[in-house]
């Protein structure tokens, strides 16, 4: 199922996500628009209990409202020591309105409250509080009801002190052992090579090329 157009509407108002999608699609010659390009697009109620369910809700809402193909993602952080939290509540972990700094502060406070320690600090590496993974579910929907889904996972660990100024969300606390850096310390090119979002998108593109 190939997209019918070289323009895709990505069902997000998150400017960080929109930038990442634009960077991922640009080499393919596709233009990406986000919900910020449409005046007063109403907020979409994401009441699914999985990332995939929420992605489908968003993609279908955009198709219904605009009558164009839409790509939606729902993504978040799953932390082992927190029994998979914040999970689908990642964007609003500390409550509404969504705030990255508040979410990160709650994440670290909860891990410290539970005494989480995956590995002590070593030379050149900070202490790791818990194994964790970023998960991204993508859903592509077209007028007429056809849909396609994909999922990507990026494994890492949580560090107590924020490191790096790139990225957004939980990136400053998400440590990638293979780089010895947090997600927020990676360049955009490095992140787009290994991130959960990039992995899910590669699956989606392979589906489109079938």
* Segments in 76-195 forming alpha helices (H): 100-113, 188-194
Q: Which residues contact 159 (CB under 8 A, 6 or more apart)?
A: 126, 127, 128, 129, 173, 175, 182
pLDDT, tens only, 135-175? 999 999 988 888 999 999 999 999 999 999 998 899 999 99
Does residue 53 contact residue 46 with C-beta atoms inside 8 Å? no
Global pTM? 0.86
Q: Evaluate whether 18 touches 36 at the Cβ level (below 8 Å).
A: yes
Cis, peptide link before residue 97, omega less than 30° from 0: yes
**Is the separation of the CB atoms in 57 and 44 below 8 Å?**
yes
* Mean pLDDT in residue range 85-94: 95
**pLDDT over 60 (residue 61):** yes
Positions at the binding site: 12-17, 74-75, 168-171, 191, 196-197
Given 74, 83, 99, 161, the catalytic residue: 74
Q: What is the pLDDT of residue 157?
A: 98
Is 99 catalytic? The answer is no
Convert the pLDDT of each residue in 17-48 to its tens digit: 888 888 878 887 778 899 999 888 888 888 88
Residue with tokens 């990638």: 176
> Which residues fall in the annotated binding site for Mg(2+)?
74
Give the residue ranges of the annotated binding site for substrate: 12-17, 75, 168-171, 191, 196-197
Judged against a pLDDT cut of 80, whether residue 209 lies above it is answered with no
**What dotted CATH number matches 7-208?**
3.90.950.10
Phi, psi at 131, each rounded to 5°: -65, 150
Of residues 59, 77, 61, the one with CA closest to residue 138 = 59
For 164-207, write each residue's pLDDT tens digit.
999 889 999 999 999 999 999 999 889 988 999 889 988 888 77
Nearby residues of 200 by Cβ (< 8 Å), 6 or more positions away: 73, 136, 137, 138, 150, 151, 152
């Amino acid at each position: 199922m190939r997209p019918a157009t070289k323009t895709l509407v990505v069902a997000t108002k998150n400017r960080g996500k929109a930038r990442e999608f634009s960077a991922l699609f640009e080499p393919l010659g596709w233009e990406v628009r986000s919900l910020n390009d449409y005046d007063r697009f109403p907020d979409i109620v994401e009441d699914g209990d999985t990332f995939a369910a929420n992605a489908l809700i968003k993609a279908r809402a955009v198709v219904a409202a605009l009558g164009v193909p839409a790509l939606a993602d729902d993504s978040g952080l799953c932390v082992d020591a927190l029994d998979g939290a914040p999970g689908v509540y990642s964007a609003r972990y500390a409550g509404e309105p969504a705030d990255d700094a508040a979410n990160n502060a709650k994440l670290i406070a909860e891990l410290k409250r539970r005494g989480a320690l995956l590995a002590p600090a070593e030379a050149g590496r900070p202490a790791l509080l818990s194994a964790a993974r970023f998960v991204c579910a993508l859903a592509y929907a077209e007028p007429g009801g056809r849909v396609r889904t994909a999922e990507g996972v990026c494994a890492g660990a949580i560090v107590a002190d924020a490191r790096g100024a790139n990225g957004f969300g939980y990136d400053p606390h998400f440590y990638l052992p293979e780089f010895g850096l947090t997600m927020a310390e990676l360049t955009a090119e490095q992140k787009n090579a290994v991130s959960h979002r990039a992995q899910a998108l590669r699956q989606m593109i392979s589906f489109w090329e079938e």
